[in-house]
Amino acid sequence: MPDSPPTTARQPAGPASEDTAPGALLQAEHLSRHYASHTALSGFSLTLHRGEVVGLLGPNGAGKSTALKLLAGVLPPSSGRARLAGHDLIDAGQRYRRQLGYLPERPPLYPDMRVHDYLRFCARLRGADGGRTAVGRALTECGLEAMADRRLDQLSQGYRQRVGIAQAVVHRPPLIILDEPTVGLDPRQLQGIRQLIRRLARAHGILLSSHLLPEIQALADRVIILQRGRICHQGPARGEPHARRFNARFRRDPHAGALEGLPGVAAARAVAPEHWQLRLTPDADPDRVISAVAAAGWGLEAWQPAGDSLEQVFLRATQGPGGEA
């Protein structure tokens, strides 16, 4: 395949640095994609490091698949740029694409091919050695050894999804892009694919999309929430901790109201036996409050900032004008 730029007309990307951010595996800046007058994605920027799992969340039609297709180099951006492992998406498209493995929303599996042959074919397509070692390693990594001689149309949905992931890793790319990798799986298959993705994250950067919050919460370090083609939130996948809300665990439950009598505590509520959530007054010094709570004699065993659930973050980020909520 020639290493030629995409054919779609590019508009100026706006300010963009020549080099990838220090240590970054992937850096995308201001990526946009228009379909006629419709903007599917706008101003999408992302920096991803090796060993990091970034989850892309958003309501239906938010632009998740579009963002992944642009980053995978299978759909040309209308504007913007991306660099992966030192290769530019536009100027060195083929070298860029060889640095990644991509599981599209609907993976193109050829029904009458055997798993082993399919993986060899995919490796060669990407200029990698499709020999026994490469294919054997991908089969092992994805738990597919027993299925190597099966035809693709004889596989369960869970194994088909594993083959989809195996074709994305067979050429050992530093970046793996997975579009809805757990869609349509039963709970046991889901568990298997989650474990597989966690294993792969040790050696690869991973970018994955889902419209299921628990999936992203279980797998990602960081989350980007898209709404109507724009990033409306990014942050840790487990929600941002609050500066003034804390969870406390005691050996003995405090008497009702006793916690609220301490200086700096605005409100306290029991969330489970011996587990309380405290809200501090705006002027309180958290260190002083911990000391007061510890000295009160209920056997303080744990104290940590309370975080919003990802669900709360998602609902807040996607509500308001243009949101579905």
Ligand X SMILES: Nc1ncnc2c1ncn2[C@@H]1O[C@H](COP(=O)(O)OP(=O)(O)OP(=O)(O)O)[C@@H](O)[C@H]1O
Residues binding ligand X (CB under 6 A): 35, 38, 40, 58, 60-66, 211
Cβ proximity to ligand X: between 20 and 65 the closer is: 65
Q: Which is nearer to ligand X, 27 or 210 (CB)?
A: 210
CB of 211 to ligand X, least distance (A): 5
Residues 6+ apart with CB under 8 A from 195: none
Task: Locate 315 and state its tokens.
Answer: 């609902």
Closest to 137 in 3D by CA, of 170, 100, 176 = 170
> CA distances (Å), 18 to each of 31, 99, 112, in order?
15, 19, 45
Contact 229, 70 (CB under 8 A): no
Q: Smallest gap, in angstroms, from Cβ of residue 89 to ligand X?
A: 17
* CA-based nearest residue to 121, from 89, 167, 165: 167
User: In whole angstroms, what is the distance from residue 220 CA to residue 208 CA?
Assistant: 8
User: Which residues lie below 8 Å from residue 177, measured CB to CB, with a gap of 6+?
Assistant: 68, 71, 72, 100, 101, 102, 103, 168, 206, 207, 208
Q: Which is nearer to ligand X, 71 or 135 (CB)?
A: 71
CB-nearer residue toward ligand X: 289 or 310: 310
Least spacing, CB of residue 230 vs ligand X, in Å: 11
Half-sphere exposure of 180 (CA within 13 A, CB side): 17
Question: Shortest gap between Cβ of 43 and ligand X (angstroms)?
Answer: 14
Please, what is the minimum distance in Å from the beta carbon of residue 8 to ligand X?
A: 12
Q: How far is the CB of 215 from ligand X (least distance, A)?
A: 13
Q: How far apart are CA 290 and CA 305, in angstroms?
A: 11
* Cβ closest to ligand X, residue 7 vs residue 60: 60
Nearer to ligand X, 64 or 222 (CB): 64
User: Least Å distance between CB 237 and ligand X?
Assistant: 18
Q: What is the phi-psi region of residue 51: left when phi exceeds 0, alpha when psi lies from -120 to 50, beta otherwise?
A: left
CA angle at residue 262 from 257 to 266, to 5 degrees?
Answer: 75
Q: Which is nearer to ligand X, 55 or 264 (CB)?
A: 55
